[in-house]
Amino acid sequence: MPVGERHIGNPYFKNIHGGIIASFLEASASIAVFDKPEEGAPKPINLTISYLRPAKMKSLNCRATIVRSGRRIAVVEAVAWQDEEEKLVARGQFQFLLV
């Protein structure tokens, strides 16, 4: 995700706003389980975000992995990083209702 001035959360340190990071993680996780467009988009029912380090004004990368997917509920983990994938900026765990 490329970032711009509108993504600044702390103008003094020029860090990306946590809400932007959480939204990016949730969108990536949702896309990971959205495999049946005819059934509608999955509905988020629970999420937990852990912010691990400040995100500077650089591109943000994300990877979402389905931990478990049943008939009605899917659990997805998403991680975000900037320069090195080993240095995570944030981690999120999501539960979706599959409709």
**Digit-coded pLDDT (tens) for 38-70:** 667 888 999 999 999 998 888 899 999 999 988
In terms of residue numbers, what domain contains 52?
5-97
- Angstrom CA distances, 50 to 12, 40, 53, 87, 97, stand at 22, 28, 9, 13, 22
Q: Full-prediction pTM beyond 0.75?
A: yes
d(CA 82, CA 94): 21
CATH label of the domain that carries residue 64: 3.10.129.10
pLDDT tens, residue by residue, 13-44 = 778 888 889 999 999 999 999 876 666 788 89
Asked whether the beta carbons of 75 and 45 are under 8 A apart, the reply is no
pLDDT 10s digits, 67-84 = 998 888 999 999 999 999
Amino acid (one-letter) located at 71: R
Task: Give the count of domains, the chain.
Answer: 1
User: How far, in Å, are 33, 70, 80 from residue 40 at the CA level?
Assistant: 11, 16, 26
Q: Is 24 exposed, middle or buried (0-12, 13-18, 19+ CB in 10 A)?
A: buried
Residue type, 2: P
